[in-house]
Chain A
Amino acid sequence: MMKTSLKSATRTGMIFGLVFIFLTLIGFIVVGANMFGGLFVKSAENQNSVRVDAVNLLVFISLFGLLSGVVFQKRQPDAKWMHVVLGGLFTGLVIGLIAGGAVFLIGILHVKGIDLRNYLPNLGPDTIKFALFHSTPLSAAQTYLIFFIIFSLAGALLIKVISLGDGLKSVFDQVKARAAEQVDSQQLRDLMKNKFFLVGVGLLVAVLLYFLPLMWGSYWNYIMGTVAIYILLGLGLNIIVGYSGQLVLGYVAFFATGAYTFALLTAPYPHAIGLNPWLAALLSVVVSVLTGLLIGLPILNLRGDYLAIVTLGFGEIVRILVRSDLMTPFTNGPNGITNVGQPSWLGDVFSDVNYMHFLMLIVLLGLFVAKRLKDSRTGRAWIAIREDQTVAQATGVNTFQYKILALLIGAAFAGLSGALFASRNQFIGPEDFTLMVSINVLCIVIVGGMGSLPGVVAGAFVLKGLPELLRELSDYRLLAFGALLVVMMIVRPNGLLPDRTTWFSRPVPGKDQKNYDEVNQ
């Protein structure tokens, strides 16, 4: 027992120590410390920046140590007190030695005047001084060691205390059960069916949605506009990936087609067609759908991984073609298209507030369409294909037809969002349509929960809105993105707001007879 406890402590300590070194080397400790430190320590009026730095870093180290202790203790919940104390101490010791050693080494190199920035660009003198608390390497390393030991011990003890007996845990479970009961209660259900209540809530939301863009200024209109466009993209990809289970990694191809169709039809250069924006938007949807047909027909019989890679290839082909010399006379190549047409209503060009209202309307419409599609016979066919294609085929679902249909509807959504994107930004270029767009949208669908509509909205807000709130962390956004995807797949593969109407919740006779009859024809 003792041995396993120490082994586990060493492992946890090593992992956390290495992660800490990594965070130091990517320069995250400065940003992270100032963020976390700022949460706990309100900076004084006449702040001494050296002291503020040190306090912030200490807060960061303490939190990190606490987390390591918690993780260590979570791994062996029913260890004895002795083991908890020793293990916590040991975890802290290992992290402290690794992290402190690394900081000491960096500090010594810094003192000797060896500049590592050519290889590790984040290790500038400011960062190093920050990591050393503006003191000598040795005393900094000691501080690291002491703080890590104290706080990982504290973290381990904290969890041990919380899990003592079944006191807190059972209380927590009871609260959870009570809350679930409340949510599930008959009263609430009746309320949800009450038409007046629903209309009231709807009106409230509508008023809110109407006034928000008026109040929060053009910057937030821009951000929320981006979120709205990504919700629309997410809804489209959700139909392809979430409903029908086809992993498409080249969704950006349709987005790009829509955007370029719109831009080329309305911009003064390179073609000067000057079509009415409303008509152009319609045409860009049509062109995107045709692209979907062209791409989908030959490849939709492929499955899973192959489909993913082939569609990824298509996405890249579209981008490379758009920016190539071959297509430059047609698409203006890498320079992109400027002065894209804007929609207007009764002769007035949309202001940013109008545009935001317009986007909200479109998103609501998109949500409505997606919801109705999901509950339709088509939606059930898609879900059947997603769950088991062979069985779906055997029960008489024309799998190929339905898969193509999903792709085309998804492409239509992407084409519309492309047109909106182009007309709102006024400028598009080939670099707006990289693989990252496809992956962003895929992440929205997956983080939200595959097949779940609230999930798409939540995912778009989390992945597109949140990074704007945490602007100082923007350098680390993609890194966090990748890590989030991996962790999400391991911990919560169903997403934040999972789709509850899975295949198992089939209609019950009597309760919803019509659906039941339809399914059992």
Chain B
Amino acid sequence: MIHDLKTRKLSPELIVRIVVGVILSIYLGWRIYLSIFGDQAYGPDTWLRFLITGLVIGGIYALIAIGYTLVYGILFMINFAHGEVMMLGAFVGFFVLEAFAALPTPTEGNPELTFLNAYPVIALILVFIAGAAISALMGYALEKIAYRPLRNAPRLIPLISAIGASIFLQNAAQLLFGPQRRQYLNPDLLARGSGWMIQVGEKSVMLTYTGVFSFVLSILLMVGLFFLVKKTRLGKSMRAVAENKHAAALMGIDVNAVISKTFIISGLLAGSAGVMWGIHNGLFNHYVGFLPGIKAFTAAVLGGIGNIPGAMMGGMLLGLFESLGPALLGIDFQLKDVIAFTVLILVLVFRPSGLLGEALSEEKV
């Protein structure tokens, strides 16, 4: 609009941005060049390890980011409590796994066997179903209680409500389940710290089972979502509502039902991401949703908010930035969270529509 027209011309602001951008890129390029070809602090095996970590975490980020993007695409609000939905998934998965581990299923060969290790595949499927289902329920309830009454309020209002819901859920989890960090009980099939060894030069890198499992599962879920949105009737109505709520309602689409289903779908994905997080990383507590939530939002913005392939790509990229970034830029690993936030700021400053996003109209930004 007014602002866009102004920036089309070479305004001083744009020139400053370009200059800063160029200087920044040159500096970053130099740091990356130094760390790869300069002092060679890391061997190829380490780089491969970073790459694997990045892809696995990226898959989890992508799943959460899709939830942000779906909701943002329809309601133009940041579902701030989305990270907490993921946290709930992690807790549910933990409890179900504990229950399975306590359920004795003795066989002839091994009388001490538990259900978890007797039928690991069924157990894992049930764990994911439970985690995803409870998270989906949470997403549904969240929309119904905290967001639906505010559907027509100014945009600041639902955002604050979402922040409130996020604080509430986080503290509810802390009060209910205690503040301590907990350890996921994986079935032996997916024991943490075991995996395939890959020879790289003289050293070997472990490709953990949990990592491969999480990555494959996240890709499968993303493909499933993609088909849901592109091929099914529900997906069609979701896209219609995202395009224009009033027109969609005039075409006979039940907008409220579609919005509820959108929250359910994003809850399903976030819940699966939470279980995956637990299975892959092991330790978690009630804060587990906060940082991944914000980073996944970053990922959604990076890919172009409202754009589903964008969220997937953004999640992967952010995972990679985070695991490769500190090494590439030669900075401390403590600062990896800073990288995510810096990426967010840079994207918003230099390309607010994201990598894959189209320029949004004023109403949607």
| A442 within 8 Å of B (CB atoms) | yes
- Residues in A whose Cβ lies below 8 Å from that of B77: 305
| B42 within 8 Å of A (CB atoms) | no
Q: Is the CB of A309 within 8 A of B78?
A: yes
| B171 within 8 Å of A (CB atoms) | yes
Residue from A25, A305, A309, A488 with most neighbouring chain B CB atoms (10 Å): A305
Q: Which residue of A lies closest to B344 (CB)?
A: A313
- Residues in A whose Cβ lies below 8 Å from that of B161: 485-486, 489-490
Please tell me which stretch of A149-157, A224-232, A321-329 contacts chain B, meaning at least 4 of its Cβ atoms lie within 8 angstroms of it.
Answer: A321-329
Q: Which residue of B lies closest to A304 (CB)?
A: B155
Q: Is the CB of B294 within 8 A of A486?
A: no
Contact A120:B159 (CB < 8 A) given known A317-B341, A482-B164:
no
Flag B106-131 by CB within 8 Å of A: 1 or 0 each: 00000000000000000000000000
Q: What is the CA–CA distance of A275 and B365 in the complex, to the nearest angstrom?
A: 46
Q: Which residue of A lies closest to B331 (CB)?
A: A326
Contact A446:B78 (CB < 8 A) given known A324-B332, A482-B169:
no
Q: What is the CA–CA distance of A423 and B337 in the complex, to the nearest angstrom?
A: 30
Q: Is the CB of B177 within 8 A of A121?
A: yes
Contact A439:B163 (CB < 8 A) given known A313-B341, A314-B341, A475-B175:
yes
- Residues in B whose Cβ lies below 8 Å from that of A313: 294, 298, 340-342, 344-345
Q: Is the CB of A247 within 8 A of B165?
A: no
With beta carbons under 8 angstroms apart, the residue of B165, B178, B337, B345 that contacts A121 is B178
Could you give 15 example pairs across A and B, Cβ below 8 Å?
A27-B175, A119-B95, A120-B177, A247-B159, A301-B3, A302-B348, A309-B344, A313-B345, A314-B345, A316-B341, A324-B332, A325-B334, A326-B331, A326-B334, A493-B157
Taking chain B's interface residues, is the majority helix, strand, or loop, or is none over half, making it mixed? helix
Closest 3 CB pairs of A and B: A485-B164, A482-B168, A482-B167
A387, chain B: closest CB distance, angstroms = 10
- Residues in A whose Cβ lies below 8 Å from that of B171: 476, 478-479, 481-482
Q: Which residue of B lies closest to A241 (CB)?
A: B156
- Residues in B whose Cβ lies below 8 Å from that of A442: 160, 163
| B39 within 8 Å of A (CB atoms) | no
| CB interface residues, A 245-304, toward B, < 8 Å | 245, 247, 249, 298-299, 301-304
With beta carbons under 8 angstroms apart, the residue of B76, B95, B164, B331 that contacts A486 is B164
| B335 within 8 Å of A (CB atoms) | yes
* B binding-site residues for A, Cβ under 8 Å: 1-3, 76-78, 95, 98, 145-146, 149-150, 153, 155-161, 163-172, 175-178, 294, 297-298, 301, 331-332, 334-335, 337-338, 340-342, 344-345, 348-349, 352, 362, 365
Q: What is the CA–CA distance of A303 and B78 in the complex, to the nearest angstrom?
A: 13
With beta carbons under 8 angstroms apart, the residue of B164, B169, B297, B338 that contacts A320 is B338
Q: Is the CB of B334 within 8 A of A309?
A: no
Flag A35-50 by CB within 8 Å of B: 1 or 0 each: 0000000000000000
With beta carbons under 8 angstroms apart, the residue of B155, B166, B337 that contacts A316 is B337
| A136 within 8 Å of B (CB atoms) | no
Q: What is the CA–CA distance of A317 and B342 in the complex, to the nearest angstrom?
A: 8
Q: Is the CB of B341 within 8 A of A302?
A: no
Q: Is the CB of A489 within 8 A of B157?
A: yes
Q: Which residue of A lies closest to B94 (CB)?
A: A119
Q: What is the CA–CA distance of A217 and B166 in the complex, to the nearest angstrom?
A: 37
Contact A479:B175 (CB < 8 A) given known A119-B95, A490-B161:
yes
Q: Is the CB of A489 within 8 A of B158?
A: yes
- Residues in B whose Cβ lies below 8 Å from that of A330: none
Q: What is the CA–CA distance of A475 and B170 in the complex, to the nearest angstrom?
A: 13
- Residues in B whose Cβ lies below 8 Å from that of A304: 155-156, 159
Q: Which residue of A lies closest to B175 (CB)?
A: A26
Flag A7-41 by CB within 8 Å of B: 1 or 0 each: 00000000000000010011100000000000000
Contact A299:B345 (CB < 8 A) given known A317-B338, A326-B335:
yes
A27, chain B: closest CB distance, angstroms = 7
For chain A, give the interface size range: 35 or more
B64, chain A: closest CB distance, angstroms = 14
With beta carbons under 8 angstroms apart, the residue of B160, B172, B362 that contacts A390 is B362
Q: Which residue of B lies closest to A478 (CB)?
A: B171
- Residues in B whose Cβ lies below 8 Å from that of A79: none
Q: Which residue of A lies closest to B342 (CB)?
A: A317
Q: What is the CA–CA distance of A484 and B297 in the complex, to the nearest angstrom?
A: 25
| A86 within 8 Å of B (CB atoms) | no
B342, chain A: closest CB distance, angstroms = 7
B230, chain A: closest CB distance, angstroms = 27
| A306 within 8 Å of B (CB atoms) | yes
- Residues in A whose Cβ lies below 8 Å from that of B2: 390, 393-394
- Residues in B whose Cβ lies below 8 Å from that of A303: 365
Q: Which residue of B lies closest to A23 (CB)?
A: B175
A178, chain B: closest CB distance, angstroms = 33
Q: What is the CA–CA distance of A301 and B14 in the complex, to the nearest angstrom?
A: 12
Residue from B98, B156, B170 with most neighbouring chain A CB atoms (10 Å): B156
Contact A298:B344 (CB < 8 A) given known A393-B2, A446-B160:
no
| A426 within 8 Å of B (CB atoms) | no
- Residues in B whose Cβ lies below 8 Å from that of A484: 164
Q: Is the CB of A479 within 8 A of B172?
A: yes
Residue from B76, B98, B155, B171 with most neighbouring chain A CB atoms (10 Å): B171
Q: Is the CB of B335 within 8 A of A320?
A: yes
- Residues in A whose Cβ lies below 8 Å from that of B175: 26-27, 122, 475-476, 479
Q: Which residue of A lies closest to B340 (CB)?
A: A313
- Residues in B whose Cβ lies below 8 Å from that of A298: 345, 349
Q: What is the CA–CA distance of A22 and B169 in the complex, to the nearest angstrom?
A: 12
Q: What is the CA–CA distance of A488 and B352 in the complex, to the nearest angstrom?
A: 32
A354, chain B: closest CB distance, angstroms = 36
With beta carbons under 8 angstroms apart, the residue of B150, B335, B342 that contacts A324 is B335
B349, chain A: closest CB distance, angstroms = 5
Q: Which residue of A lies closest to B156 (CB)?
A: A247
| A483 within 8 Å of B (CB atoms) | yes
Q: Is the CB of A485 within 8 A of B177?
A: no
